[in-house]
Chain A
Amino acid sequence: SQTIHQWPATLVQPVGSPLSLECTVEGTSNPNLYWYRQAAGRGLQLLFYSVGIGQISSEVPQNLSASRPQDRQFILSSKKLLLSDSGFYLCAWSVSVSYEQYFGPGTRLTVT
């Protein structure tokens, strides 16, 4: 069966510090991968998605970036965090847009 892992579960970082969140998927090949952010409130904001290694589409211009160094690994990064980067970050995978996404447990990021 397929599983998706995210770490860390929680993170408190000062403004201006770097960020690296990792997501890995097991049990499937060539998944579509997604990074979402959920700020205070409930909306899910799509940040990045990837349909293959090295293929990243950015949805929102900001100080975040994403990389997919391996087929089942998706990394969200920032060189300098802003207060507005605080939120709940969710990674998800799907076989394709025709099929459901499966979400990881999320990372709660607080920028102080």
Chain B
Amino acid sequence: AQKVTQAQTEISVVEKEDVTLDCVYETRDTTYYLFWYKQPPSGELVFLIRRNSFDEQNEISGRYSWNFQKSTSSFNFTITASQVVDSAVYFCALSSHSWGKFQFGAGTQVVVTP
């Protein structure tokens, strides 16, 4: 079975603070894929990043960065210098060919106040 844990239910920050979202996963597969999605108040899920299990390079995209560590089965997401527009629910997800589908975490609500 596959499992994704996002232990943080809600994180509140003041604008310009950094915020890190934790994602811990469980899988028996050696080849798997990890994703992050953003769900703004409008409801539509927006794809942010995909990582395969063989690529442990960290990635930075503007104010977003991701830290993938196989040793701890974690794929954490950091928003630097947060803005009000970052207020959303963020989901981490896991997939693999043997599982045949996507397993989403429960999501973390990020609230950024001015």
Interface residues of A (CB under 8 A from B): 34, 42-44, 46, 49, 51, 57, 59, 88, 90, 92, 94, 97-106, 108
Which of B61-69, B75-83, B98-106 has 4 or more CB atoms under 8 Å from chain A? B98-106
Q: Do B101 and A97 have beta carbons less than 8 Å apart?
A: yes
Interface residues of B (CB under 8 A from A): 33, 35, 37, 39, 42-47, 50, 52, 89, 91, 93, 95-97, 99-102, 104, 106-107, 109
Q: Do A103 and B104 have beta carbons less than 8 Å apart?
A: no
Which one of B46, B99, B100, B107 lies within 8 Å of A42 (CB-CB)?
Answer: B107
- B42, B93, B100: residue with the most chain A Cβ atoms closer than 10 Å: B100
Q: Do B44 and A105 have beta carbons less than 8 Å apart?
A: yes
A62 to chain B, nearest CB (A): 17
Question: If the complex has contacts A44-B91, A105-B44, are A97 and B109 also in contact, measured as CB distance less than 8 A?
Answer: no
Q: Do B50 and A99 have beta carbons less than 8 Å apart?
A: yes
